[in-house]
């Protein structure tokens, strides 16, 4: 409702805006090297039919099927990073190395992975459950069985006292009562229509939300500490979340996302909270069956067993992988591309974000194999710790470019041109978000115009609609940084942070297109006379602000 009314409100204004700049006679401002573009495409698609050169499938296979989930610092994450380093070296890239960074003191990331899980309902009748252990969950003490109990976090001391002593030996259903699942009538996957892209190109003028949604009051620090202490005393056996209702979503919110055995894990920081009890995420339909039985006072017994391996020696640091193609005439000036190497552990992190890594690596391979001469250095970064709050990219930016709190700039800040981020899933590039950098618009218009057989190149003045991603680490210190606008495909129904984010959710032709678009943007940025234009430098922040 809110967004629809905005879009209608904008139609009139947008006609005035689009017409003058949309004419055919607009002068091209960027000089495009069409021979380089031909070489870039040939290095990916092959110069003759039936002779594809793409390595995307091979890269994606290794990052997903071969090494598996890449939860930051897990053994699989570290093995994948080793493989990436070797692969980039084999391709002849320069300066290939891992850059270590310290985890924030309040956010340790010990190496964790699950080595065994079983979860079932044993009473009133047996049912195996579709389940995953929550990231960084502690193990159970062997196979445990206990009574299920619907649980809602108490918001007052009185509520808490009413429950005291009642949780011992229980299997807690933390999502509360069953939540209705909307009939998923919308297609499971979609590409942007022309109309939707046109809508994304238009600025949204902020208006006050006429329908503010009620939200649960946040727990005070004191109450949170009390609950933690109480759970430690009462010792419930295990906690179960419904995979459809994320902890921060509204109770009872019906949704057609994540149904049919697809479950989504929490998307924020569990590693640093004192996650004192083993925690399992259940497919919504299975969670709901248990919750409905309990609502009718039918006793339910659940069984669970989680085995994990934890290595604390890794908790204080993690890594990013860096590689370069050195510039010829301005080697100290840098254009960058990046994607995050880490994933959630619920599947193999294929669309979030093995495919972004694969396309970014492939763009580097294309540029290298095309032997194109570039003035500036092109640098690739594959980040760790993105899913815990852009930890790897923020640490890198602080180390090399600027401190986002004090806004103290390092010498490399001035030498930097642009950062391009791939983290929008497996859908092909349909455009780019300007993140309000108006000055970059004519440049990207010309770069996309040369690629019009691959993408219409919608330019959205906005940033990605929701969430955070690694380009923000650069943007928040005043460096030009952009997020590609990609087709959503089945990201929000099947793949994003789910137990189904496997290689099967990857669309290889889309990923090949991503690699070619990225390679051509990197080439253009590395060879145009000037660095990309910047927004104003942000003001220094108070030390306690920002940071997620």
Q: Which residues bind Zn ion (CB under 5 A)?
A: 352-353, 423
Query: What does the alpha-carbon distance between residue 390 and residue 33 come to, in Å, rounded to a whole number?
Result: 35
CB closer to Zn ion out of 279 and 343: 343
Taking the CB of residue 32, how many other CB atoms lie within 10 A of it?
18
Find the shortest distance in angstroms from Cβ 343 to Zn ion. 8
CB closer to Zn ion out of 67 and 448: 67
Evaluate whether 522 touches 451 at the Cβ level (below 8 Å).
no
CB closer to Zn ion out of 134 and 352: 352
Q: Answer positive or negative: Cα dihedral of 26, 32, 38, 40.
A: negative
User: Could you write out the three-class secondary structure of 109-137?
Assistant: CCEEEEEEEEEEEEECCCEECCEEECCCC
Evaluate whether 320 touches 99 at the Cβ level (below 8 Å).
yes
CB closer to Zn ion out of 70 and 245: 70
What single-letter DSSP state applies at residue 489? B
Find the shortest distance in angstroms from Cβ 68 to Zn ion. 17
What single-letter DSSP state applies at residue 65? I
Here the tokens at position 66 are: 């071969």
CB closer to Zn ion out of 285 and 423: 423
CB closer to Zn ion out of 54 and 486: 486
CB closer to Zn ion out of 353 and 370: 353
Find the shortest distance in angstroms from Cβ 273 to Zn ion. 21
Find the shortest distance in angstroms from Cβ 317 to Zn ion. 21
Q: Where are the alpha helices (DSSP H) in 236-308?
A: 284-295
CB closer to Zn ion out of 353 and 507: 353
CB closer to Zn ion out of 199 and 385: 385
CB closer to Zn ion out of 443 and 485: 485
Query: What does the alpha-carbon distance between residue 197 and residue 49 come to, in Å, rounded to a whole number?
Result: 31
Evaluate whether 51 touches 330 at the Cβ level (below 8 Å).
no
Query: What does the alpha-carbon distance between residue 152 and residue 168 come to, in Å, rounded to a whole number?
Result: 15
Find the shortest distance in angstroms from Cβ 523 to Zn ion. 25
Rg (the chain; Cα; Å): 25
Instruction: Give Cα 23 to chain centroid, integer Å.
Output: 37
Query: What does the alpha-carbon distance between residue 286 and residue 144 come to, in Å, rounded to a whole number?
Result: 19
CB closer to Zn ion out of 146 and 266: 266
SS3 474: helix
Best CA proximity match to 391, nearest among 337, 469, 313: 469
Find the shortest distance in angstroms from Cβ 470 to Zn ion. 8
User: Could you write out the three-class secondary structure of 314-333?
Assistant: HCCEEEEEEEEECCCCEEEE
SS3 220: coil
Find the shortest distance in angstroms from Cβ 468 to Zn ion. 9
Query: What does the alpha-carbon distance between residue 337 and residue 365 come to, in Å, rounded to a whole number?
Result: 13
Evaluate whether 302 touches 240 at the Cβ level (below 8 Å).
yes
* Dihedral angle of Cα 188, 191, 193, 194, to the nearest 10 degrees: 170
Find the shortest distance in angstroms from Cβ 361 to Zn ion. 16
Find the shortest distance in angstroms from Cβ 386 to Zn ion. 6
Find the shortest distance in angstroms from Cβ 385 to Zn ion. 12
Evaluate whether 470 touches 423 at the Cβ level (below 8 Å).
yes
Find the shortest distance in angstroms from Cβ 70 to Zn ion. 11
CB closer to Zn ion out of 236 and 338: 338
> What angle in degrees, to the nearest 10, is found between the helix axes of 355-369 and 75-90?
10
Q: Residue 381, class by beta-carbon neighbours within 10 Å (0-12 exposed, 13-18 middle, 19+ buried)?
A: buried
Query: What does the alpha-carbon distance between residue 165 and residue 317 come to, in Å, rounded to a whole number?
Result: 39
Find the shortest distance in angstroms from Cβ 424 to Zn ion. 8
CB closer to Zn ion out of 67 and 240: 67
Residues paired with 242 in a beta bridge = 282
Find the shortest distance in angstroms from Cβ 534 to Zn ion. 25
């Amino acid at each position: 409702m809110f967004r629809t009314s905005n879009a209608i409100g904008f139609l009139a204004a947008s006609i005035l805006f689009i017409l003058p700049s949309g004419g055919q006679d607009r002068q091209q401002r960027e000089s495009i090297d069409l021979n380089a573009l031909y070489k870039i495409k040939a290095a990916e698609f092959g110069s003759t039919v039936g002779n594809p050169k793409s390595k995307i499938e091979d890269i994606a296979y290794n990052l997903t099927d071969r090494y598996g989930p890449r939860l930051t610092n897990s053994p699989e994450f570290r093995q994948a990073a080793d493989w990436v380093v070797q692969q980039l070296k084999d391709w002849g890239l320069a300066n290939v190395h891992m850059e270590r960074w310290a985890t924030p003191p309040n956010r340790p990331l010990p190496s964790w992975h699950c080595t065994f899980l079983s979860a079932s309902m044993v009473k009133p009748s047996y049912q195996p459950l579709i389940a995953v252990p929550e990231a960084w969950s502690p193990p159970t003490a062997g196979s445990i069985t206990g009574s299920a109990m619907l649980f809602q976090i108490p918001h007052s001391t009185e509520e808490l006292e009413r429950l005291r002593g009642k949780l011992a030996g229980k299997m807690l259903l933390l999502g509360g009562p069953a939540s209705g699942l909307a009939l998923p009538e919308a297609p499971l996957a979609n590409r942007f229509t022309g109309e939707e892209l046109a809508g994304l190109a238009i600025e949204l003028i902020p208006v006050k939300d006429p329908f503010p949604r009620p939200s649960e009051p946040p727990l005070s620090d004191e109450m949170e500490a009390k609950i933690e202490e109480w759970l430690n005393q009462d010792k419930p056996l295990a906690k179960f979340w419904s995979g459809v209702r994320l902890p921060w979503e509204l109770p009872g919110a019906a949704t057609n996302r994540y149904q049919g055995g697809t479950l989504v894990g929490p998307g924020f920081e569990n590693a640093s909270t004192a996650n004192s009890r083993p925690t399992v995420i259940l497919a919504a339909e299975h969670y709901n069956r248990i919750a409905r039985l309990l609502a009718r006072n039918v006793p339910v017994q659940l069984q669970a067993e989680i085995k994990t391996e934890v290595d604390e020696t890794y908790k204080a640091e993690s890594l990013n992988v860096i590689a370069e193609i050195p510039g010829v005439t301005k080697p100290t000036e840098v254009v960058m591309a990046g994607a995050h190497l880490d994933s959630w552990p619920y599947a193999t992190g294929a669309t979030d974000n093995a495919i972004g890594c694969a396309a970014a690596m492939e763009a580097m391979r294309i540029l290298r194999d095309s032997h194109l001469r570039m003035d500036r250095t092109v640098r690739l970064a594959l980040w760790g710790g993105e899913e815990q709050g852009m930890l790897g990219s923020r640490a890198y930016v602080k180390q090399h470019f600027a401190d986002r709190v004090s806004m103290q700039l390092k010498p490399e800040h001035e030498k930097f041109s642009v950062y391009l981020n791939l983290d929008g899933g497996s859908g092909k590039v349909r455009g780019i978000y300007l993140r309000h950098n108006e000055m970059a618009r004519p440049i990207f218009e010309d770069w996309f115009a040369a690629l019009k057989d691959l993408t219409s190149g919608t330019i959205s003045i906005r940033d990605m609609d929701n969430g955070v991603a690694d380009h923000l680490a650069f943007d928040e210190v005043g460096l030009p940084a952009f997020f590609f606008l990609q087709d959503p495909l089945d990201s929000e129904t099947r793949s994003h942070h789910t137990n189904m984010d496997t290689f099967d959710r990857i669309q290889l032709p889309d990923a090949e297109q991503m690699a070619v678009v990225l390679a051509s943007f990197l080439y253009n940025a590395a060879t145009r006379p000037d660095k990309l234009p910047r927004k104003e430098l942000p003001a220094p922040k108070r030390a306690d602000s920002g940071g997620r």
